[in-house]
Amino acid sequence: MSEATRRAVLGTTIGLSAVPLLAGTARAASTAPDEDQILQQMADAFGQQLRSPIMHSPSEENLDYEDVTFQAIDGVPIEGWFIPARGSNKLIIANHPMGFSRAGLPGHLEPWKSIWSSSGNDIEVNLVRDYKILHDAGYNVLAYDLRNMGLSGAANGGIASSGIFESRDVLGSLRYVRERGDTRRMTIGLFSRCLGCSSTFYAMTRDPRAFEGVRCLVGPQPVTMEVIMARRLVMAGVPADRIDELERLVVLRTGIPFAARRPQQWAKGVRVPTLLYQVHDDVLTHPSDVQTMFDNIPVSDKRLQWIRGTNRRFDGYLEFQRRPQPMLKWFESHMKS
């Protein structure tokens, strides 16, 4: 096992969730974990997630904003920012990938740098720049931390549910903006990234009426947990046929099997115009995963946009900052008064 792979295993990622390091740095430095240790560490990450700090603020982009808190539909306190666009009646609700916060992820700093270096994703993703682009395009923005991430409340024992419990945060954000005096009559669009997109799919499946009046969804890089974990096993030098053993360990920690964590199926509940985009050659997943989700969305007004020329997943999260025009065009065409 190479040193890079060993580091990736000791601090690997489940989609975007970090596995804790082995206890004792001397032991970790001298002993490469065997396959059973790798499986245990991967499963541990489903039981307790590493939080990404709030490293940036809208004030860095000269944006006025309000710190807000609201409740998910099961009462979990959710923290966020409301960024007003004066004179606009259009609102984008934005959430984030797994392991991120509303501000992004400091992949250039430890421990995230070591976690992500083997896949080439040891770079910073600053999501505040997305909100600046949206604001300047004339949108009010609500950006929030999903449960167990950022500054939002701990819930469900801290486990990662791949969108099942997190869907309650999505539904809570919709209820919040519909009850808030200055946003209740605004036209709503959704910018749901990765885990946030999977959570949105699940929320649409469980409560379709909550999305009545929502004009559209832009969803960067949703991922199926079983798909990404199979890729992680191969990268760690573990035979792919041990995925069933990994699933057993995950169930012991969370009670949720991979078979219940399938946004490919939840996509069948989507009822709003949807733009998905994905790094085609992402080393952490496979293009067939997002393609299946897209194919399963039962609306005619949909689009799948591939990002080519890179195999780095984080380039997908930076795509909106680099080439925002297709996403802005999608929002504009669907959110006209």
Residues 203-215: tens digit of each pLDDT: 999 999 999 999 9
Q: Residue 66 pLDDT more than 90?
A: yes
pLDDT at 115: 83
Q: What's the full length of the chain, in residues?
A: 337
Residues 103-120: tens digit of each pLDDT: 999 999 999 998 888 889
Q: State how far the Cα of 72 lies from the Cα of 170, in Å rounded to an integer.
A: 7
% of the chain residues with pLDDT over 90:
84
**pLDDT band, residue 33 (cuts 50/70/90):** low
Kindly give, in sequence order, each residue whose CB lies less than 8 Å from that of residue 282, ignoring residues fewer than 6 positions away. Answer: 221, 311, 312, 313, 316
What does the DSSP assignment read for 247-262?
Answer: HHHHHHHHS--GGG--
Q: Which of helix, strand or coil describes residue 172?
A: helix
Kindly give, in sequence order, each residue whose CB lies less than 8 Å from that of residue 48, ignoring residues fewer than 6 positions away. Answer: 20, 158, 159
Q: State how far the Cα of 298 lies from the Cα of 312, in Å rounded to an integer.
A: 30
Query: Given phi > 0 = left and psi -120 to 50 = alpha, else beta, which region is 143?
Result: beta
Q: Residue 9 pLDDT more than 60?
A: no
pLDDT at 202: 98
Residue among 210, 190, 195, 192 nearest 161 (CA): 195
Mean predicted confidence (pLDDT) in 210-234: 95
Model pTM? 0.91
**pLDDT band, residue 257 (cuts 50/70/90):** very high
pLDDT at 114: 87
Residues 79-95: tens digit of each pLDDT: 999 999 999 999 999 99
Q: Residue 6 pLDDT more than 50?
A: no
Q: Are strands 90-94 and 187-191 parallel, antiparallel or unpaired?
A: parallel
pLDDT at 27: 35
Residue among 156, 174, 221 nearest 71 (CA): 174
pLDDT at 331: 98
What does the DSSP assignment read for 68-79?
Answer: EEEE-TTS-EEE
Asked if 217 and 273 touch (Cβ cutoff 8 Å), the reply is: yes
Residues 259-284: tens digit of each pLDDT: 999 999 999 999 999 999 999 999 99
Q: For the purposes of burial, counting CB atoms within 10 Å of the CB of 86, is it exposed (0-12), middle (13-18) or buried (19 or more)?
A: exposed
**Residues paired with 91 in a beta bridge:** 140, 188
Asked if 93 and 188 touch (Cβ cutoff 8 Å), the reply is: yes
Query: Which two tokens mark 104?
Result: 């992004």
Q: Residue 24 pLDDT more than 70?
A: no
